[in-house]
Amino acid sequence: MQYRTLGRTGISVSTFALGTLRLGAWGNTDHDDAIRLVHTALDAGVNLVDTADQYSGGEAEEIVGKAIRGRRDEVVLATKGHFPVRMGDPDPNRRGNSRRWLTRAVDDSLRRLGTDRIDLYQVHRPDPATDIDETLSVLSDLVRAGKIMAIGTSDFPAEQLVEAQWVADRRNHVRFHTEQPPYSVFVRGIEADVLPTALKYGMGVLTWSPLNSGWLTGRFRRGERIEMTEFRRVVAHKFDLDLPGNRAKLDAVERLLALADEVGVPLTHLALAFAASHRAVSSVLLGPRTIAHLTDQLAAADLRLDDTVLDRIDAIVPPGVTLNPADVDYRRPALTDPAERRRPA
């Protein structure tokens, strides 16, 4: 396992990190097995473990807390807040990026994780209802209180990253140190703006979904039906073959499989190595459900793709292109709310 510095934090993180979305009710419900999975990652040299209060309704944080007990100092521990912890929670104040909610959310995460500090706390999505000055203010206070070591964002558009840097500078707040966007061969939109912005401001980048929800394992092939498991039904737009972008993935998978065969590696490893190859990327979050999945993915940790291979990937999916626009998880209100685009009568 190799290590990279996380932006300008001075913290060294493993090139591959462990994402815990699938630990608990959303995936692996066997806590003992999930703890073994975390230990397998740590024993392989992974030192960054990323979770969120929302994952499995807080259960993932509890599993991580059990797993790192006695090994806390080995781990760069990252979590996130913004969404309601319990799906369907009707209380509008138990979500978002306000001082009221984030103060509570951080304390709850610390309790579930069984620790006195979070190495990296990230706001899980932008919050149009809360001034970024308010969000940075409370996060700065939590840093100064020693509850958080560094702060970051997830799925923030480039212009909001820039705004946050300027607000932090002018208001004497702690700056966001990191951004966590989705990034893969099939989801490359951030190459146009988010990744250059992160480089400009010295932000670390933790990317997620490097296998694009399984598309880049070669599991889904042309002419075959995609079984809609419970998990896939939650994100059905990622697998709906009526969408042109998903049909384009089927064609791209065939070409990528042929390229992987020429290189002599599994498609999974080719995809993971691609995600780690961008100069802005600090660490790639793996999201395994089982130890077998994790072991296979970790085998790609030392794979480096040369320029010839990267050029051929660019020829299959051009830089800056996201094949299925529905894969973009955060869409700006200006695109989703008609009232944001229309002059009042």
Asked if residue 333 has pLDDT above 90, the reply is: no
Q: How close are the terminal C-alpha atoms of the chain, in Å?
A: 60
Predicted pLDDT of residue 345: 79
What is the span of the domain harbouring residue 95? 3-340
CA atoms within 13 A on the CB side of 64: 33
Dump the DSSP string for 257-301: HHHHHHHTS-HHHHHHHHHHHSTT--EEEE--SSHHHHHHHHTTT
Please say whether the beta carbons of 286 and 273 come within 8 A: no
d(CA 303, CA 298): 10
Instruction: Identify the CATH number of the domain in which residue 158 sits.
Output: 3.20.20.100
**Average pLDDT over the chain, rounded to an integer:** 95
For residue 345, being part of any structural domain is answered with no
What pLDDT is attached to residue 231? 66
Question: What pLDDT band is residue 280 in, cutting at 50, 70 and 90?
Answer: very high
The pLDDT value given to residue 57: 96
According to the model, what pLDDT value does residue 234 have? 66
- Model pTM greater than 0.75? yes
Q: What is the pLDDT of residue 332?
A: 86
Alpha-carbon distances of 107 from 60, 100, 218, rounded to whole Å = 16, 12, 41
Q: Which residue has the higher pLDDT, 201 or 233?
A: 201
Give the residue, 33 or 336, on which the prediction is more confident: 33
Is residue 109 assigned to a domain?
yes
List the catalytic residues: 55
Q: Is residue 252 assigned to a domain?
A: yes
Provide mean pLDDT across the span 100-115. 98
The number of folded domains in the chain is 1
Q: Tell the residue number behind the tokens 């209802």, with chain if given.
A: 129
Q: Do the domain assignments include residue 63?
A: yes
CA distance 157 to 179: 10
Q: Under DSSP, is residue 169 helix (H, G, I), strand (E, B) or coil?
A: helix
- Residue 233 is predicted with a pLDDT of 66
Q: Is the distance from CB of 259 to CB of 181 less than 8 angstroms? A: no
- The pLDDT assigned to 230 comes to 64
Say if residues 51 and 60 touch (Cβ distance below 8 Å): yes
**What pLDDT, on a 0 to 100 scale, did the predictor assign at position 10?**
97
Alpha carbons 181 and 178: distance in angstroms, whole number:
10
Evaluate if residue 220 carries a pLDDT over 70: yes
More confident residue, 184 or 219: 184
pLDDT category at 86 given cuts 50, 70, 90 is very high
Q: What pLDDT does 344 receive? A: 86
